Amino acid sequence: MATSEPYPDSPAKGNLMVTAELLPLSSERYENGPPKFPAIELGRVTDRIIRESKFVDFEKLCIKEGEKVWTVFVDIYSINDDGNLFDAAALGALIALKNAKIPKYDKKEEKVIYGEYSGEKLPLNKDVPISVTFHKIGDSLIVDPTTEEEDLSETRVTIGIAGENISSMQKGDSASLDIEEMKKLIDLAEKVTKDVYKQIEKDLK
């Protein structure tokens, strides 16, 4: 976290920046250098899942309206890519946000004291956003695919669910999905989300 100016259209809210870097360490498919489209897309989809779910209470990250707010940075680095980086990245970001602490801020000097903490955790809302990504292979819908299954995929849909609501949805690849397939995806996403949420709560405790 760091302090910065708020965006012009949200002068009383903190900021969020999500980036992703796909390391050669995680797969022979990746090379060092500027982020390419897969990394950019991964960061943007993760950003959307967090932002649109309203999981972070950005209004509570305002230090001085119109002048200074907290900016939350989420940096994603792949270590071992064996498929489904979208859900893995969202899950890692979620755990990081739930464990994040706000650095100590000296109001008199108007500066952050790095290495020291205020004792406050990041202000989060109760509805935890869970990401569920589906791939379509032929007539089958695959959840949590391997790299080989992703290579066979005709299309991809990532659904973000927070509480009882779908907060975000992102489609990738060119093949289309009909209405019945989308209904099936949503029903499956709700079921998978409940199972994932139970595991997250168990691990955090």
91-136 pLDDT, tens digit each: 999 999 998 999 998 888 888 888 888 888 999 998 889 999 999 9
Distance CA 203, CA 163 (A): 18
**Locus of tokens 């940075």:** 73
pTM here?
0.90
Q: Name the phi and psi angles at 47, rounded to 5.
A: -60, -45
Tokens of 184: 């099936």
Give the chain's radius of gyration (CA, Å). Answer: 19
Classify domain 2-121 by CATH architecture: 2-Layer Sandwich (3.30)
146-178 confidence digits (pLDDT tens): 999 999 999 999 999 998 899 999 998 888 899
Average pLDDT over the chain, rounded to an integer: 92
CA 30 to the chain's CA centroid: 21
Specify the amino acid at residue 201. Answer: E
- Map out the domains of the chain as residue ranges: 2-121, 129-204
